[in-house]
Amino acid sequence: MIFEILATFFGLIQGTFSLLNKRIHWIFYLLQLIALVIFSWNEKLYGDVVISLIFMVFCVLGFFFWNLQEHKHISACSIKERLVYVFIIFCGTGIGYFLLKATDDPLPFLDSFTTILSIVALFYMVYHKIDTWFLWFVADAVYVIQYALLPNPALYLLGLYILWTVMAVFSYLYWYNVMKKGIEKLSHKS
């Protein structure tokens, strides 16, 4: 239970800094992921273990990419990018489900879906794409269901993901306003 509490604590801090588009959120995300790896392993959520390990790499990349000028501007994905990420989510979930079904994972479909969806969402977060918040909203809402359905429900993480689902809406609105101001600045320069 200690790792669930630690993951929740660091997740609250990370979520707040992420909502505000602050680079420091990557550090708290890394701390949260360390706690999540241990928690997920103990709960046999192997997809979540894999995603947390992958996310650790994204945290390091995100921390450095957010410092580069070309990655500071918030933008939206193109229609082509959206079609690609929907395809990746669909195929990745199917493959993940097939792999996790062969383990003792208690929720292989949900674990696979949240894993693939979160990887795609984090990829777009690294590149400041506003679409990340729609993807996080869906992933967080499904995580709420997943943590409620575990044989031993993870109530602290369930509460965190309820909060993150709400925060995804506010993060989208905040990033949208920042993106809109950036577009207005560019149009006044020309």
Q: How many CB atoms sit inside 10 A of residue 74's CB?
A: 21
- Residue 20, domain extent: 2-189
pLDDT > 70? residue 165: yes
Helices (H) and strands (E) counted in the chain, each on its own, are: 7, 0
Element (H, E) at 86: helix 79-101
Reduced 3-state DSSP string for 45-70: CHHHHHHHHHHHHHHHHHHHHCCCHH
Averaged over 60-86, what is the pLDDT?
84
Tokens at 74, concatenated? 């918030």
State how far the Cα of 87 lies from the Cα of 156, in Å rounded to an integer. 32
State how far the Cα of 132 lies from the Cα of 45, in Å rounded to an integer. 23
pLDDT > 50? residue 186: no
Contact 32, 18 (CB under 8 A): no
pLDDT tens for residues 98-156? 999 998 889 999 989 998 999 999 899 888 899 999 999 999 999 999 989 988 888 88
pLDDT > 80? residue 47: no
Helix axes of 46-65 and 25-42: crossing angle, nearest 10 degrees? 170
- What's the domain count of the chain? 1
pTM of the entire structure? 0.81
